[in-house]
Amino acid sequence: MQVSLSTSGSTAVLQLEGAFVFGGHRDLRTVCRPILDNPNTQIIQLELSHVDYLDSSALGMMLLMKEKALSAGKEIQIKGARGIVLQVLEVAKFDRLFTLLH
């Protein structure tokens, strides 16, 4: 999985590409740490339009990220999920835990 970061105002966008699986947790954590510490960032969007697969460890990473974001006074949004990725998020009821943007 590749992770890139862009910002626009108070929103940080994490663009994820490829398979969102446990092997990408270090890259994701490395990119997220400064975002969570940045007082100017209020919203963190996980852009998943280029993710073609995610597993249960990805769901766990998103839940952990949400917990840390809430502690830092930030909101996590999931954007662009489609196909099987969207189906997994819906089956896991992530639409109740996160704002899903299409």
Query: What pLDDT was estimated at residue 24?
Result: 85
Residues of the chain above pLDDT 70, percent: 100
Residue 97, Cβ density class (10 Å: 0-12 exposed, 13-18 middle, ≥19 buried):
middle
Cα torsion 62, 68, 71, 74: sign: negative
Query: What pLDDT was estimated at residue 87?
Result: 95
Cα 101 to the center of its chain, rounded Å: 12
Summarize pLDDT for 70-98 with one digit per residue, the tens.
999 999 999 999 999 999 999 999 999 99
**pLDDT above 90: residue 25:** no
Going from the N-terminus, what domains does the chain have, and what CATH number goes with each? 2-101 (3.30.750.24)
* DSSP per residue, 32-98: HHHHHH-TT--EEEEEEEEEEEE-HHHHHHHHHHHHHHHHTT-EEEEE---HHHHHHHHHTTHHHHS
